Each structure stands twice: as structure tokens, then as C-alpha cells.
Structure 1
Amino acid sequence: MLKQIEAGSLSIAYDESGDASGWPVVLLHGFPYDILAYENVSPLLVARGARVIVPYLRGYGPTRFLSDSTLRSGEQAVLGNDLRLLLDALKLEKAILGGFDWGGRAACIVAALWPERCAGLVTANGYSIQNIAKSLEPSAPEREYAHWYQYYFHNERGRAGLTQNRREICRLLWTLWSPEWRFGAETFERSALAFDNPDFVEVVIHSYRHRYGLVIGDASVAGIEQALAAQPVIAVPAIVLEGEADTVDPALGADGHRRHFLGHFAHRLLPHIGHNIPQEAPEPFAEAIVALHAQC
């Protein structure tokens, strides 16, 4: 059931399923996806007794800013803070958090900075807290090639392109990042409605400029951004999922992530799965959540 709640600077739209007394799980989507990434994960968790919350991130779907004057920031600190404030608004002292892409970053941030709010973490694509201080250091050419869209968004042609061709660009990214996922036109169009949010373009553009230090951030989360600059470790129980066919965040294996995790840590590589792990592989994603719950 789709609901709406005020949290910080936002009115956040979220899907809720399961009994209100169930063990709480919050699942977060990435760019350019939406809450439908979890439509086949949530029923599996509800069947195991979970209360599942799946919010639209800022700039997506029916989620709205409460004030016209709020910076349409997409920086990592606001994503993490949005999640923390959502937990507050829902009166959830602690929940298992799961996410991928932007949503995985928000979950990692809460797990790292406010571990008392996170009972366990399932993060697709691993530790995703950005190291902005090193963002202008060049990567291997194949990684640079995969991030073409980020550099495109750095200039005004990219802003105009995303405004004019948001569906075409987002569908292209789905195809490039998950080359073995045979999604249909209807599947994409259902999610693409979320990109009609009036703040989608501004939030996306700010996100891909801020992570390279090209624009200023939201002053209200400057302290959080400073804490993230230290690349904080994650001490809560965590499971990292990686898609073997992910072409934008290629799998690093357990050794590529372990140093960021101090608590219980497990790594699972999923053959033939691309970037959108929960939608492409709902059963393994749900199984990872359930495995963490069993440890609580």
C-alpha cells in the first residue's frame, strides 16, 4: 500500500507491506530505478514475517520537497540523512536495511554513521560511500568508459539531454548495466513513471556533479559529508551482493570489500545478474535479508 509521510525536508512516498508488528525492513532503490525493483522481494519477506518499507528517493515518484527553496541536492549525505529521518518519522528504532546503487549508498551511510539504527545491511554493489577527495583521480580506461553518463551530466548539454530524453537515457542505462536481463517495454515503462517527478533532473544532475566536487552541497548536511570523507567502516552484520554481469560496478569479490566491514561479513556473487540485483534476482536478495534477520 502506497503511503506518504513527512520526514525532514521531504514528503516521502513509500510502499508498506506486511503486518505492522513484523520485523522491520527498509529497502531502497537506485538510479535510474524505482520501488518496483522490490516488487518481487517484498512478498518473500512478508511471508517470513517482515514489515517491509520501500520509499521513493528524493526526486522520484510521488516523493516531494516541502519547500521550493530547498536545494535539490542528490549528494550522498542527504540520501543517508533522508533514510535516518524516515526511520524517525516511522518510529522505527532499528531496521534491517537493503539497497543498491543510490539506495545502497544511503543504507551504507546509516549503517556506518548511525549503527544503532541498523540491525543488518544487505548492500548490492558493496561499500558505496563515495571518496569525493579522490574523485578526480583517473580510473582504468574501461571504468571511465562505463561512467560516460556521469561526465555527460557534468555539463549543461547533459542537463538538457536528461530533461529532453530522460526515458531514452534511463532505458539505455538499464540495458548497458544489465546486459543479460531481458526486461520488456512494460516493465521499464512502469518504472519510468517515477522519472516524471518535477525534481528528478535537478536531483540527478546535482548528484553526479557533487560526487566530483563540482558543485556545493546542502549546508544542512555538511557535518555528515565531513564524517563520510573519513570513509567510515561498517560494523553491523552485512552481506554484500554482486552481479557477475554488472557492467557499471564490476564485481570486486569478497577481498575487494572486506576491509570496509568490521562485523559479520558475507559476500555472494550472482551469475548472469547485472546492476539491478533485487529486480533481476529477487530470491537471493530476500534470502540475504532473511539470513541477517536470523542473526538478530
Structure 2
Amino acid sequence: MRQQSVTTDVLDIAYREYGAPDGWPCIMGHGFPYDVNAYAETAPIMARAGARVLVPWLRGYGPTRFRFPDTPRSGEQAALGADLLAFMDALGIERAVVGGYYWGGRAACVVSALHPERVVGLVSGNSYNIQNIARAMEPASPPEEAALWYQYLFHNERGRRALERNRRGFARQLWTMWSSKWAFDDATFERSAVSFDNPDFVDVVIHSYRHRYALVEGDPAYAGLEAKLAGQPPIRVPTIAIDGDSDGVNPGTISHARKFEGPFERRVFTDAGHNLPQERPAEWAQAVLDLYEAAERSR
């Protein structure tokens, strides 16, 4: 494993790299509130199978930094997708297997939908992860609304202050609620929690959870991308969608297969919660390898 960084127009993106530099490119994204350690066990499995695995810290996490103080600290979906595409460009990666869950999975879905020529295949935690902001104010069932308490808290200034004062406390609460069958220890949590000390973490998180409900404006630089995403574009690249049957925030009871117009498979990880690659590293790695091998056979 090597820790490196690459510069884009907006960010200095820090990332971990596993495997041989000439391996087949595989980019995996983490979610909120997690970090690259979600793939600490998964990535070596894929690397041993010939992959060059790249796991970047998202904007607002770990050593990744904004290059300029006046850049909006946006957490909107278009920004995450643009970051992933810029990361690929900066490293000279023409095509890759992409994947992730929650925020990282959303970035992978955005690139897969809007730039399918850059994607060999997609492994998506929680299926179709592109937000339908126009319908964000449509209410869900009471259990689903209860699971989203943290998002509603972040909509107001009390929530911002709460996150500023106790980043680790809120993150640990979410880990516990979202993955009730995952017996992580203090050391495992702390390895990821240091990434929340990033100076832009709170601003990016707060913007993300307000923008997805159309409560704040996005970064004008991504307005064109957001307009495309508002159309809920289909994903046509080969996809394996994964849910955990014990996910405390996304119950995985609804299939979004109709949003996938290419080869599609859905897998459910037994007794797994929200942090799929860290809770089930071998199974996540196998999904990536299965996807890549199928793509190779179809060439």
C-alpha cells in the first residue's frame, strides 16, 4: 500500500494505492462518515488478483485539501462526480472499474451515468445512488423518516454546531446505528475518525445534506452537471448493486433495477449494514472481480 496525492483544478486529492502500477484500474470511494480504511482489507484482495486499486479521500476528508480558499465547500453530488472524473484525468486513467457506497458510490454512479465511456463496470452500494432533488420533499414511511434524523439535524445551525463540537461522537453514533451487527472496536473507529479532523469536513457535510433537499444553492461551477442529474439519467454500464440486509439507514428493500439499462445484478450481504466493503471485505472484493472478469470475457 502506498499513500500518494494528485492535483486537480480544485483539489489536492490524497489516495491510497494497492497493487502493481500496471494493473487494471479500479477506483473505490468511501461514504460519510467513513474514510479510505473502509477498503483496508478489501483492496489487497483485489490487488492480488491483478488490480491497481486506488482509494481517494473525498473532499473534506483526511489529507485531501481544497487548493483555493474561495472555492465553495460544496458536498453536492455533481461535485463528487466531478472530483472522481478529475482524479481519473489527473492520473491518466482512461477507463476503470469504479465503485463505492453512499457518497463514494454516488460519485461512481454519476460518472457511470454521464461518462459511460470511462467506466468498465460499476459496483454500487445501495443501487442507484443519484439523488432526485426535485422530489426530495416527498415524505417517506415513518421508519425511513426516523432513519434520516441526522440529515434533518444538519439542516439547521444547531446541527452544524453539534457536528463542529463532536465530530467523532456523531460519526460513532451513525456507525453503530447503521451497522448494528458489525462489532468494530475503538482502534478501527479511530483509524477513520482522524479523517474527520479535515478543516473542511463540517462545511462539506453540512452543504451536502442541505443541498440534496434544495435548501441551499450549489456551486455554480457544477450547475450544468446538476441539471443533467436532475433528469435521473440511466446507467448503462455493467453493474453489480449491493445492499446489506441489516443496513440501518438504507434498508435495501427497493430495487432500482429499472435505472440500469446494461447488464445488472443485485446482491444482498447477509448480516451486513451500511459500510459494506469494511464489514464484508471478501464479498465486496469478489463482486468487483466478478464484474471485471465478465467485462473481460465480453471484449
CA distance in 2, matches of 1:38, 1:17: 10
Q: Which amino acid aligns with 1:250?
A: P
Asked if residue 155 in structure 1 is aligned to residue 177 in structure 2, the reply is no
User: Which whole-Å deviations, capped at 9, do the CAs of 1:96-140 have from their partners, x for residues lacking one?
Assistant: 001000000000000000001110000011101000000011111
RMSD of aligned alpha carbons: 0.6
Equivalent residue number for residue 19 of structure 2: 18
CA distance in 1, matches of 2:5, 2:49: 25
Residues 14 and 55, structure 1, Cα contact 8 Å, conserved in 2: yes
Equivalent residue number for residue 139 of structure 1: 140
Would you identify which runs of 4 or more consecutive aligned residues in structure 1 move more than 2 Å?
none
How far apart are residue 247 of structure 1 and its match? 1.2
Q: Which amino acid aligns with 2:269?
A: L
Q: Which amino acid aligns with 2:165?
A: Q
How far apart are residue 252 of structure 1 and its match? 2.3
Equivalent residue number for residue 258 of structure 1: 257
SS of aligned partner of 2:274: coil
CA distance in 2, matches of 1:184, 1:16: 25
Alignment of 1:265-280 (within 5 A): 265-280=264-279
Equivalent residue number for residue 288 of structure 1: 287
CA distance in 2, matches of 1:264, 1:8: 34
SS of aligned partner of 1:201: helix
Equivalent residue number for residue 93 of structure 2: 92
Residues 14 and 56, structure 1, Cα contact 8 Å, conserved in 2: yes
Asked if residue 200 in structure 1 is aligned to residue 194 in structure 2, the reply is no
Q: TM-score, normalised by structure 1?
A: 0.99
Q: Which amino acid aligns with 1:118?
A: V
CA distance in 2, matches of 1:150, 1:170: 13
Equivalent residue number for residue 113 of structure 2: 112
CA distance in 2, matches of 1:187, 1:149: 22
How far apart are residue 8 of structure 1 and its match? 2.4
Q: Which amino acid aligns with 1:278?
A: P
Residues 8 and 82, structure 1, Cα contact 8 Å, conserved in 2: no
User: Which whole-Å deviations, capped at 9, do the CAs of 1:175-197 have from their partners, x for residues lacking one?
Assistant: 00000000001100110000000
Residues 237 and 292, structure 1, Cα contact 8 Å, conserved in 2: yes
Equivalent residue number for residue 166 of structure 2: 165
User: Which whole-Å deviations, capped at 9, do the CAs of 1:13-45 have from their partners, x for residues lacking one?
Assistant: 000111111000000000000000000011100
How far apart are residue 251 of structure 1 and its match? 1.1
Q: TM-score, normalised by structure 2?
A: 0.98
CA distance in 2, matches of 1:209, 1:127: 20
Q: Which amino acid aligns with 1:156?
A: E
Percent identity over the alignment? 54
How far apart are residue 292 of structure 1 and its match? 1.1
Give the number of aligned pairs.
294
SS of aligned partner of 1:25: strand
CA distance in 2, matches of 1:210, 1:265: 30
Q: Which amino acid aligns with 1:246?
A: D
- Residue segments in structure 2 that go unaligned for 5+ positions in a row: none
Equivalent residue number for residue 29 of structure 1: 30
CA distance in 1, matches of 2:17, 2:104: 17
SS of aligned partner of 1:15: strand
- Residue segments in structure 1 that go unaligned for 5+ positions in a row: none
SS of aligned partner of 1:4: strand
User: Which whole-Å deviations, capped at 9, do the CAs of 1:203-246 have from their partners, x for residues lacking one?
Assistant: 00000000000000010110000000000000000000100000
SS of aligned partner of 2:228: helix
CA distance in 2, matches of 1:267, 1:209: 30
CA distance in 2, matches of 1:98, 1:128: 11
Equivalent residue number for residue 42 of structure 1: 43
SS of aligned partner of 1:121: strand
